[in-house]
Amino acid sequence: MDLFDKCKVELADRTIEAGIYPYFHELESRQGPVVTMEGKRRIMLGSNNYLGLTSHPRVIEAGVRAIEKYGSGCSGSRFLNGTLDLHIELERELADFLEKESCMTFSTGFQSNLGIISAITGRGDYIFCDKENHASIYDGCKLSYAKTIRFNHSDMEHLEAALQSVTADSGKLIVTDGVFSMGGDICKLPEIVELAQKYNARVMVDDAHGFGVLGRGGRGTADYFGLTDKVDIIMGTFSKSLASLGGYMVADKRVVHYVRHTSRPFIFCASITPSNCATAIEALHILKEQPELVDKLSALSSYMRQGLLARDIKIRDSITPIIPIYTYEEMRTVRKAMELYNEGVYVNPVLPPATPPGESLLRTSYMATLTTELLDEALDIIERVVKAD
C-alpha cells in the first residue's frame, strides 16, 4: 500500500461535489459583527472574538507601535534570544489579573496545552480527561506518556470511579475545559475540586472560552465559582477575548518555573511576536477598564438564546456566548450552514469527532459589539433556514 493511498476525505469530498463545502470561506474585512466574506455582507455569528476587541483602535495602535519598535518577530525561543520586555509585562499583568503567583506564555493556545500537560505529567502518572475536552488537551495527554482515563462529559460519578481505580500514591491530574467549546456549557468545577481534594489530585482548567466571559470582570471559570485558589493550573489563549494570538498558563511560581525548564513545546518554539504581545496587553487593559463589556456580552447572548427558544429551535442550555443549534445529521448540518451563509449569516458547522455521532450542530458564538437589531435579523434568517426541509 502506498503511503498516500489514505489521502481521501470522504465527507469533505461529498460536500464539494454537492456544492455545499462549508470550510475555508475567505474573510475580506475585519472580524466585526458584520463582515465581508467572498464579496457579500454576512452577520458574524461564528467568531470567538467575544469582546469584539480585534478591531478596537487602541488594540490596533498597540500592534503597530510594537512592530515599529521591535520589528515583526523575535526569531528565537523565549529560552534564548526571544524574550522581550513585552513578554514579561504581559505575564506579570496576567498573573496579577488572575490572582495567581506566576504566569508564562506560549506561542499559541493549542501549544499551551501541549506544553503544560506534557511537562507536568509523565510515565506512571494519570490524567483524568472529560470526553468533551478540546483536541489540544487530548494531544497534550498523548505527548505526556501518562495514562489517560476519559470520563463521561461532566459525569462526576464516572470521574470518582476513575479516580478510585488508580493507586492512591500515583500522580493525578484532572483536566477540564472551563467552558466547553462546542456545547457552551460550564464544567462542574466545585465537584471536580472536591473530588481532587478527596483523592489527592491536581486540577487544570482550560479557560480559553471562559476568560473574558465569566467571573468578576471576565476573570474566568475559576473566579466565577470562587475557586481560583483551589485550581492548580489555569490555561488560556489570546486568540479569543484578548484579540491576539498566543496562550498562557498561570499557577504557583514553582510550577511555572518547572514548566519553563521542561516543556519541549515551549523551549523549542519561537516566542510570541511583538505585535501579538502588545495587542494582548492592550486588550487586557481595556478589559480592566471596561468590565461592563462582559455584562454586555452576557446580555446579548441571553437575548439570542431567548429568541431561539421562542422560535422553538433546539439549543443546549447555558449562560455563555456559545449557543449550539442542533441539526444532528452530518450532511443536513453542512447544507444548513451553507444555506445560512448564502442568506447572510455565518455560523460554524460542527461534525464528529468534534461532536458525538448523531449530534452534529451549528455552533453560534457572540460578540459584545453585536446589536439586538443584528440579532433580530439573524434570528429571522435562522428560523427560516433551520425549519425548512
Query: Which residue is it, cell 435562522?
Result: 382
Per-residue pLDDT tens over the stretch 282-341: 999 999 999 999 999 999 999 999 999 999 999 988 899 999 999 999 999 999 999 999
Task: Tell me the three state secondary structure of residue 265.
Answer: helix
Query: Which residues are known catalytic residues?
Result: 181, 209, 240
Which domains are seen in the chain, by residue range? Answer: 3-50+291-387 (3.90.1150.10), 57-289 (3.40.640.10)
Query: Which residue is it, cell 472536591?
Result: 194
For position 316, what pLDDT does the model report? 85
Cβ atoms within 10 Å of 8's Cβ, excluding its own: 8
For position 373, what pLDDT does the model report? 98
- Residue 241 carries which DSSP code? T
Counting as low any pLDDT under 50, the low residues of the chain are: none
Task: Tell me the three state secondary structure of residue 105.
Answer: strand
Handedness of CA 316, 320, 322, 323 (dihedral sign): positive
CB neighbour class for 9 (10 Å; exposed up to 12, middle 13-18, buried from 19): exposed
* Strands across the sheet containing 345-346: 34-37, 40-44, 345-346
Per-residue pLDDT tens over the stretch 49-103: 999 999 999 999 999 999 999 999 999 999 999 999 999 999 999 999 999 999 9
For position 353, what pLDDT does the model report? 85
- Percent helix, strand, coil in the chain, to 5, is 45, 20, 40
Find out whether 207 and 189 touch, Cβ atoms under 8 Å.
Answer: no
| Residue-wise DSSP of 166-226 | S-TTS-EEEEEESB-TTT-PBP-HHHHHHHHHHTT-EEEEE-TTTTTTSSGGG--HHHHTT
